[in-house]
Amino acid sequence: MIDPLFLEGIIKILFVFVLISAGLIISTRNLSSVLTTYTIQSFLLAAVSFLLYLIDGKSQLLLLAGLTLASKVILIPYFISRIEEKIKIGRDLHFAYLEPTPSLLLSIGLILLSYTFLSKVFEGLPLTKLFFFGAVIGLSLTLMGMLVMFSRKKVVTKALGYLSMENGVLMFGLFVTELPFIIEVLIIIDLVILVMLTTILAVGMDSSIEEYRQKFRKLQVWTGVESQ
Amino acid sequence: MIRYYLLIMGIFLALGLIPKSHRLMNALAAGNGMLHLIMSCVALLTFDLPGRLGESLYLDHLNLYVELITALGFSAAAFYAKGYTDSLMEAGELDPKNLKTFYLAFNLLLVTATVALFSDNLALFWIFAELTTVCAAMLVAILSARENIDAALKYVFIVSGAMLFAFLGLIFLFTLSEQTLGEGTLNWTELAVHASEFSPALLLASFTFMFIGFGAKAGVAPFHTWLPDAYARAPSVSAILSGLMQNLGIYGIIRMYALLRESSAAPQASSILIAAGVFSIALASFSMLQQRNLKRLIAFSSVEHMGLLLIGIGIGTPLALFWTLFYMLVHVLVKETLLFSAGILHRQYRSNMREDMKDVFKLQPRAAWGLILGSIAIVGMPPFPLFPAKFFILLESAAISPYLTLIVLLTLILAAASFANFLLKAFSKVTVEEEENEEEDHRQITRTLAGTGEIELENVIVKAGREKDRLPGQYMVRNGMRVPAIFMLALALALGFYFPDSLRDLLNAIILELGYV
C-alpha cells in the first residue's frame, strides 16, 4: 500500500499540469498540438481518477479512469485527428475578441474567481483541502474551456474547447461528489455524439479543399444580410 | 417504462427509414405528433396525477401540459413540412438524399423532448435535453449551405456549452441532497420534498448554473446569440425551435424555481430571473427596431417573449405563474403562425429581406394577412389572448416595482412598433400599377406599328420578358402549408374569446402541484 499523503502530493502536481494544459489549449496555434494537449489533459484526468481510487479504494473511480482512457484518450482524439487530416489545414491562426496573452491573463482571473466563489459556496461542506482544490481546478478548467470556445475561430478548436470544458465538469464532479456511474456514461455518450456532429460539420466549415468551397458557393441560397 | 417507450419509438423511427415516398415519411411524422398529442390528452384525462410510470418517468400536470404544447406545435410543423420541403427540393436547396435524415432528426426531436419532459431524474432530463439540441442542430444544418452549418455549429456550441454549466449546477444539487438526506438523489420529486432543508447558498449557486444552461436553451439574453441565426437559416421548421426547444428550457427554469421557492434564497433567484427577463426584452426590442430580415425579427420577438416569461416566473405569485403558463401556450400558437407565413413569403421571394418583398398582397395575400394578424396577436392586442396574459403579468410586476412595469411596458411598445414598421415598409411596396400605364402606351405604339404578324410576335415576347422582370412568378403555395397557420391562428383567436374551464382547471392544478398555493 502506498502512502496516501504521497498520492495526494502527486495529485496536486497533476493539478498544475492540468492547468498548464488548459493554458496551452488557449494559446497554441498548431491544430495537431491542440489535439495532443487535449489528449494529455484527458490522460491526466484518468490518472487523477486512478490515484483517487488508490486512496479511496472505490471501484467506481477505477471504472471512471478506464472509461476516460478509452473514450477521451483514444476514441475521440483518433476521430478528430482523422478529421484534421481530412480538412488539410494545420493551423488555427486567428483569434476572435482575445489574443492569447490577454486570454491567459484572463484565465488567471478566472481561476481566482472560481477559488473565491467556491470558498464562499462550500463553506458548510465537509470537503478536505485536496478535494476543495480539485473542485476549484475543475471549475477553472470549465471556464477556460469556455474561453477557448469564445476566442478561437476554427470549428475543430472550438470543439476541443468544448471537450476541455467537459473535462473540467468531470473533474469538478470527481472531487465534489460521487455521481452515479450511469450519469458519467451518459455524459460520455453525449460527448461522442456531439463531437461527431460538430467535427463532421467542421469538414464543411474549416475545409480548405476547393470542391467544398465551390459546393457551398453554389448552394448559397439562403440569402441574408451577409451574402448580399 | 422509459425503456419500452424508447424501444417502441426506436422501432417506429426505424420503420420510418424504409419508405421512399415523401408523402409516407411526412405522414409518419405527422402521425408521430398526433400520437403524442392524443397520448398526453388521454393521460391528462385518465391518469391519477401526479403519478409515476415505472422507475424513472414521472407524470404531473405541468409536464403533461408542456408536452401537449410541444406535440401540438410539432404536429402543425409536420403538416407544414411536406409542402415546404417539397419546394426546397424543387429549388435545389435541399438534397433529396437528405430527406430521410431530415425526418429522422425531426421525429427524434419529439421523442427526446418527450423523455426529457417526463423524466423524474434531473440527469436524465439533462441528457435528453442535450440530445434535443443535437437533433435541432441537424435540422438547421440539413440544407448544407455554409450559413446553415455556421448557424448549426453556433447553436450547438452555445447551447451545449451552457448546458455544461447546468451540469455543474446538477452536481451542486446532488451534493446538497447527499449532505441533507444522506444519500444523493437527483429526482425532482424527492428534491421538491426536501428543498426547504437545503443550504440556501448552495441552492442558489445550483440555480444560477442551471439557469445559464436552461436559459441558453430557451434563448434568453445574453445567451440568445444562437437564436436569430438558427431561426433565419433553418427551413421554416424552425417553428419547432420555438414550439419545442424554448419551452423545454422554460420548463426547466419553472421546475428549478419551484424548488427554490421553498428556501430563503427565493428573493435572489427572483431577482436573477427578473433581471435576465428585463435585459432580454430590452435587448430584443432594440434589435427589432431596425430589423430588415423578417425571420430575424420573429426570432428577436421570441427572445422578447422568453424575457417576459422569465419575469412572470420571477414574480413568483400564483396569478403570475398562471398567466405565464397560459402565455407559453399562446406564444407557440402565434409564433408558429408567423413563422409559417414567413416561410411562404421566403419561398415567394427567396429572401427574408424587407427590400425584396414587393406586391405582397397580389402575390401572397393570405400569407400577408397571416403575418399581419400574427403580428397583431404577438404584440398583445386584444382580442388575442396574449393581451390578458401580458396584462396580468405586468399587473403583478407592479407589486415588485412600478418602474419595472414601466420599463417593460415601454420596451413592449417598442417591439410592437418594430413589427408595425416592418410590415408597413415591406407590404406597402406596389410596383404594378404605374407600369400598367406604361404597358398601355407600349401596346398603343405597337398597335400602330403592327402591320405584320412578325411585330405582333415580337411584342408578345417583349411583353412576356417585361412581365417576368416585374413580377416574380407567383409561388404556388402547396396543399397543407396554409392550413396549419390558419389553424393555429384560429385556435389563438378562439382562446382570446373563450377561456375553457378545463384549461383553467389544468393551470390551477399545475400551480397547486408546484406548491404555490
Phi-psi region of B480 (alpha: psi -120 to 50; beta: other; left: phi over 0): left
d(CA B240, CA B71): 10
**Predicted pLDDT at A220:** 41
pLDDT at A225: 34
Q: What is the mean pLDDT of residues B46-64?
A: 85
Give the gap in angstroms from C-alpha A166 to the nearest C-alpha of chain B: 7
**Distance (Å) from the alpha carbon of B230 to chain A's nearest alpha carbon:** 12
pLDDT given for residue A221 in this prediction:
37
Give the CA-trace dihedral at B134, B135, B140, B143, to 10 degrees: 120
Range with the poorest average pLDDT among B25-29, B89-93, B220-224: B89-93
Residue A91 pairs in a beta bridge with A30
Task: Quote the pLDDT of residue B381.
Answer: 86
Cell numbers of A89, please? 489545414
CB B489 within 8 A of CB B337: yes
Residues linked to residue B119 through DSSP beta bridges, in sequence order:
B57
Asked if residues B318 and B516 have their Cβ atoms less than 8 Å apart, the reply is yes
Least confident of A91-105, B202-216, B271-285, B319-333: A91-105
Q: What is the pLDDT along chain A (228 residues), one digit of tens a residue?
A: 678 888 889 999 999 999 999 999 988 888 888 999 999 999 999 999 999 998 888 888 899 999 999 999 999 999 888 888 877 776 766 777 778 888 889 999 999 999 999 888 887 777 788 888 999 999 999 999 999 888 888 888 888 999 999 999 999 988 888 778 888 888 888 888 888 888 777 776 665 545 555 555 444 433 333 332
User: Residue written as cell 422568453?
Assistant: B306
pLDDT of residue A206: 63
Task: Output the CA angle B221-B222-B225, nearest 5 degrees.
Answer: 85
Q: Say yes or no for a CB contact (<8 Å) between B91 and A221.
A: yes
Show residues of chain B in contact with A155, CB under 8 Å: 153
Quote the pLDDT of residue B236: 67
Q: What residues in A contact B293, CB-CB < 8 Å?
A: 224-225
Measured distance between the N- and C-terminal CA atoms of chain A, rounded to whole angstroms: 69
- pTM for the complete prediction? 0.88
Q: In degrees to the nearest 10, what's the CA dihedral of B496, B501, B507, B509?
A: 180
Q: What is the pLDDT of residue B23?
A: 85
Nearest CA-CA distance, residue B23 and chain A, Å: 25
pLDDT for residue A223 = 34
- Determine the length of chain A: 228
Residue B307 is predicted with a pLDDT of 93
Which pLDDT value is given to residue A114? 92
Cβ-based contacts of A117 with chain B (< 8 Å): 205
- The answer to whether the CB atoms of B168 and A172 lie below 8 A apart is yes
Q: Is B160 in Cβ contact with A162 (below 8 Å)?
A: yes
Domain ranges in chain A are 4-218
CB contact under 8 A, B171 and A169: yes
Q: Which helix (H) or strand (E) holds B57?
A: strand B57-59
Per-residue pLDDT band at B504 (split at 50, 70, 90): very high
Under an 8 A CB cutoff, do A222 and B165 touch? Answer: no
Q: Over range B436-462, report the average pLDDT.
A: 52
pLDDT in tens, B367-403: 888 899 999 999 988 889 999 999 999 999 998 889 9
- Among A143-157, A177-191, B229-243, B269-283, name the one with the lowest average pLDDT: B229-243
Q: Quick one: angle between helices B482-497 and B318-349, nearest 10?
A: 150
Q: Do A149 and B174 touch (CB under 8 A)?
A: no
Instruction: Report how far residue A52's alpha carbon sits from residue A54's, in angstroms, rounded to the nearest whole number.
Output: 5
pLDDT of residue B70: 93
Mean pLDDT across chain B: 85
Q: So what's the ipTM on this one?
A: 0.87
Range from B283-292, B390-399, B476-485, B495-504 carrying the lowest mean pLDDT: B476-485
Long-range contacts of B129-132 (CB under 8 A, 24+ apart): B129/B163, B129/B214, B129/B217, B129/B248, B129/B252, B130/A190, B130/A194, B130/B160, B130/B163, B131/A190, B131/A193, B132/B244, B132/B245, B132/B248
Q: Does B433 score more than 60 pLDDT?
A: no
Residue B515 in this model has a pLDDT that exceeds 80:
yes
CB contact under 8 Å between A139 and B293, yes or no, is: no
Q: Which of A142, A162, A177 is closest, CB to CB, to B175?
A: A177
Residue B171: pLDDT over 70: yes
Q: Choose the closest CB to B145 out of A169, A201, A220.
A: A220
* Cross-chain Cβ contact B123/A180 below 8 Å: yes
pLDDT of residue B166: 93
Return the SS3 of B6: helix
Which has more pLDDT, B245 or B439?
A: B245
